[in-house]
Amino acid sequence: MPDKETEKTSLKGGPLNGVKVLELGSLIAGPFAGRLMADFGAEVLKVEPPKKGDPIRKWRYLHEGTSLWWYVQSRNKKSISMDLSKLEAQEMIRELAKEVDMVIENFKPGTLEKWGIGYEDLKKVNPKIIMVRVSGYGQDGPYRNKPGFGSIGEAMGGLRHLTGFPDRPPTRVGVSLGDSVSALYAVMGGLMALYYRDCKGGEGQYIDVALYESVFSLLESSIPEYDKFDVVRERTGSSLPGIAPSNTYQCKDGKYIVIGANGDGIFKRLMEALDRPDLRDDERFATNDGRAKFADFLDRIIEDWTIKRELKEALRILDQYDIPAGSIYSVEDMFKDPHFLARDMICEVEAGQLGKLKVPGIVPKLSETPGSIKWAGPKLGEHTEEVLKETLGITEQKYKELKDSGVI
């Protein structure tokens, strides 16, 4: 066993330093999970198809043919180009599986099995392996073979039904929330399996993450409310149904402020800030269940106050009374905000020919073993030669043959 000093030194690269992950996924959910593992020190080997690479390389804004998103989503990873439909590539995956702790994949269920690199296949060569599987509907059930995307998961999982205003069609959140939440569950499941294996003497296992279930898990009290009261929660715009006051209010300068005064003590302080002692001391508003009955009335009172003040003035006053309140930030606001900058939430990284690029910082922040950004998303196949020769011991001649035949 290594002594404590040696152990402490090894963790300087992050708490997952020494953990090896093979990423077989593409686009968002699987690769976002891989990125989070890599942020905290895991060695993540990302497998991409030759010539094309991960499709996310062509998503949204491109610089000289490469998406800026790519540099974020694949930071700290090593890129291996390999055609998984070819037998020699499948054999190399089985060999790599002997060397890694975890595989992350988000193919349609059955795809890896078709290629002979599913969980049961890899378990034969490495009984300790952990496989994190992300898919639209999960690895079983009647919908398992349906194609799934995060947007469909958000719809089936109930989020889209709740998003927007009641007099308009359902809308989406402005980011790929279903994929991102699934990635968080994927990491959590992978780390729990790692803990069970390495600290509890357990074996390897696979983790089944379904996009729709990840979204479904966010629905708060919707299930018991429907079960007992037949209540179907509907779209309510910017308000928070049953919890008051909590809403978005317009200010004098046309900007908007979000105020969350749904705590009993906070509500009293808000009424003091609004110079409404009559409402502060009104027993009807002493607790949330009473306030919720008068949510529209309280919202009108609050907006009557905000509409007479510019956003900065409203924030200043509410800060004095210790009221949770904030403006609605755009990314431009974040770039200028001293708190974002003080907490290193916007970092700068070298991105090859692109030069310096600002990217999101690390979340969460660990006091003793923080994560780090070592490099931006790599070139396609940048580490293929290194990994195949050093890890698998492939000769120069064999490497050339694999390249000429299109396997890598």
Active site residue 179: yes
Structure tokens, 256: 């908007």
What 8-state DSSP symbol labels residue 207?
E
| Residue among 194, 180, 209, 25 nearest 104 (CA) | 25
Residue with tokens 């018991």: 224
| Residue among 218, 224, 237 nearest 159 (CA) | 218
| 224 cis-preceded (ω within 30 degrees of 0) | no
- Residues 401, 344: Cα–Cα separation, whole Å: 46
Residue spans of beta strands (DSSP E) within 64-212: 66-67, 77-81, 102-105, 130-135, 206-210
- Residues 74, 44: Cα–Cα separation, whole Å: 9
CA quadruple 268, 272, 275, 277: dihedral sign: positive
The angle subtended at Cα 110 by Cα 109 and Cα 115, nearest 5°, is 135
For residue 346, give the H/E element and its range: strand 346-350
- Residues 90, 280: Cα–Cα separation, whole Å: 68
Q: Which of 39, 83, 179, 208 is catalytic?
A: 179
Active site residues: 179
